[in-house]
A and B are shown apart, each in its own frame.
Chain A
């Protein structure tokens, strides 16, 4: 009888885990939602016209199609390479990335698409504009996520080591975990039950003056800002830290950093789209 009970418990637990894991991209959705709240009426109408969806809904489009036909050259667009002139390795240490891929990654593409849309979206087909907006939504999100900024790990100052490719090891409830996984699951770690409206209420707290300051410069400047945050995060969650047992002050610091990065990404995305569709 005990065995039956145990079996039932295990199945119940596995089902709830499956449900939680089936869902990806909540951080991107939050960023899209924050950005949507800061669009001008003109930009919002244009975005809805081209996307036929909100920015929040389309936030993971680039991930959903990542390895499909026609998207294979976009893998590096998900990453902000903090030092684009240095040598990087990819999934495997033996694999040296092409300098062109490193140089033309997230920050480069954001600036490129911003400029292309700003100067000539009216001459483009609807589907071209639609896809460029979708890319921008996701790339702005990725570039503000510390796990998507490739810089050397502090205690191993070699530019072949990056946090992007899961080489910065942490723990979660005693089990192996990575810095990248922590950021991919940050919404579940911090506030698993929150909806996008609650996240926005917590993160979107900047004054118009502060928002204007956040949006100064271009994607290259913004990438430098995120790079500093990555270095700061190494102090909050040093290697081998168990993320499930962070101290209150470390959890608070991680929470504040998460809010900040989501808000910055949302504001900057809105800034670009408002600039593109300013008429």
Chain B
């Protein structure tokens, strides 16, 4: 019986935390692959034993991105995305065939760009999942609310809207919209990207978020742009780091 409960607990964890992984992460690796230099593409393929677009980072541990009260990035704990990025780059500079370091780097860059993974000191809403209510903008008898978790919204909801697309097609679409900002997004270092992500987080978390927070259609649609932009930033920046390492 204990074994069954353990299995079910793991299943529950996978269902709640794994949804993001299943759809957005393959899109990030697919989009990253489109922007690798031929050298980086070859080197990562040699290390991973597969094309970068095909590498699986969904089953890896999740990393968090920490900010202090002033929205300045800080490193905290073992599963800190910024810390892992630094360590992985160091390892890869020593050994370019380090498969584990490539996969950790990919997952950490991706996770740093997820709103659901942001933890802001002094902001309880960033530490606790809470319910958001997607309102259909109608009143009276026709008013409808669809409830979901805050983290589900960012990790899964937007990607699920395009779940019938393959990861490659979804990546192609993200690219089509953001390609003219490629240089802008890639400019800087991981530390500067962290500051940029902090600014993105400030816009979102500056709202007076609370349990049962109601989102109008406009809110939901506006944040879809944020979601896609963060996917593009994660992909372009991951490609920039890998291109630099394998230059």
Of A19, A52, A67, A195, the contact of B138 (CB 8 Å cutoff): A67
- Answer whether residue A187 sits at the interface, using C-beta atoms and an 8 A cutoff: yes
Q: Are B165 and A12 in contact (CB under 8 A)?
A: no
Q: Which of A117-143 contact B (CB under 8 A)?
A: none
Q: Are B164 and A68 in contact (CB under 8 A)?
A: no
Q: How many contacts between A and B, using CB within 8 angstroms?
A: 96
- Answer whether residue A274 sits at the interface, using C-beta atoms and an 8 A cutoff: no
Q: Are A54 and B176 in contact (CB under 8 A)?
A: yes
Q: Are B217 and A16 in contact (CB under 8 A)?
A: no
Q: Are A11 and B12 in contact (CB under 8 A)?
A: yes
Q: How far is the CB of A77 from the nearest CB of chain B, in Å?
A: 16
Q: Are B8 and A5 in contact (CB under 8 A)?
A: yes
- Answer whether residue A48 sits at the interface, using C-beta atoms and an 8 A cutoff: yes
Q: How far is the CB of B162 from the nearest CB of chain A, in Å?
A: 7
Q: Are B176 and A195 in contact (CB under 8 A)?
A: no
Q: Which of B74-88 contact A (CB under 8 A)?
A: none
Q: Are A5 and B4 in contact (CB under 8 A)?
A: yes
Q: With A and B bound together, what is the CA distance between A30 and B164 in angstroms?
A: 8
| Number of interface residues, chain A, beta carbon within 8 A | 39
Please indicate the chain A residues that have their CB under 8 angstroms from the CB of B12 in the complex: 8, 11-12, 15
Of A5, A15, A64, the contact of B16 (CB 8 Å cutoff): A15
Q: Which of A9, A22, A24 has the most CB of B within 10 A?
A: A22
Bits for B9-32, please: 1 = Cβ < 8 Å to A, else 0.
Answer: 101100110010000000000000
Please indicate the chain B residues that have their CB under 8 angstroms from the CB of A11 in the complex: 12
- Answer whether residue A221 sits at the interface, using C-beta atoms and an 8 A cutoff: no
Q: Are B217 and A64 in contact (CB under 8 A)?
A: yes
Q: How far is the CB of B217 from the nearest CB of chain A, in Å?
A: 5
Q: Which of B116-168 contact A (CB under 8 A)?
A: 136-138, 142, 146, 148, 152, 156-157, 160-166
Please indicate the chain B residues that have their CB under 8 angstroms from the CB of A26 in the complex: 163-164
Please indicate the chain A residues that have their CB under 8 angstroms from the CB of B166 in the complex: 195-197
Please indicate the chain A residues that have their CB under 8 angstroms from the CB of B173 in the complex: 53-54, 56-57
Nearest B residue to A57 via CB reads: B173
- Answer whether residue B203 sits at the interface, using C-beta atoms and an 8 A cutoff: no
Q: With A and B bound together, what is the CA distance between A66 and B152 in angstroms?
A: 23
Q: With A and B bound together, what is the CA distance between A18 and B15 in angstroms?
A: 11
Q: Which of B1-60 contact A (CB under 8 A)?
A: 1, 4-5, 8-9, 11-12, 15-16, 19
- Answer whether residue B98 sits at the interface, using C-beta atoms and an 8 A cutoff: no
Q: With A and B bound together, what is the CA distance between A1 and B3 in angstroms?
A: 12
Q: How far is the CB of B24 from the nearest CB of chain A, in Å?
A: 13
- Answer whether residue B213 sits at the interface, using C-beta atoms and an 8 A cutoff: no
- Answer whether residue A201 sits at the interface, using C-beta atoms and an 8 A cutoff: no
Do A8 and B5 form a contact, CB below 8 Å, given A15-B16, A64-B221, A196-B169?
yes
Q: Are B137 and A67 in contact (CB under 8 A)?
A: yes
Q: Are A18 and B161 in contact (CB under 8 A)?
A: no
- Answer whether residue B218 sits at the interface, using C-beta atoms and an 8 A cutoff: yes
Q: With A and B bound together, what is the CA distance between A69 and B8 in angstroms?
A: 45
Q: With A and B bound together, what is the CA distance between A12 and B13 in angstroms?
A: 9
Nearest B residue to A56 via CB reads: B165
Q: How far is the CB of A97 from the nearest CB of chain B, in Å?
A: 15
- Answer whether residue A105 sits at the interface, using C-beta atoms and an 8 A cutoff: no
Do A8 and B19 form a contact, CB below 8 Å, given A23-B161, A53-B176, A67-B137?
no
- Answer whether residue B172 sits at the interface, using C-beta atoms and an 8 A cutoff: yes
Q: With A and B bound together, what is the CA distance between A19 and B224 in angstroms?
A: 17
Please indicate the chain A residues that have their CB under 8 angstroms from the CB of B1 in the complex: 1, 5
Q: How far is the CB of A68 from the nearest CB of chain B, in Å?
A: 5
Q: How far is the CB of B214 from the nearest CB of chain A, in Å?
A: 14
- Answer whether residue A25 sits at the interface, using C-beta atoms and an 8 A cutoff: yes
Q: Give the A-binding residues of B (Cβ under 8 A).
A: 1, 4-5, 8-9, 11-12, 15-16, 19, 136-138, 142, 146, 148, 152, 156-157, 160-166, 169, 172-173, 176-177, 216-218, 220-221, 224
User: 9 closest A-B pairs (Cβ-Cβ)?
Assistant: A67-B137, A8-B8, A23-B160, A26-B164, A57-B173, A15-B15, A52-B177, A68-B217, A22-B160
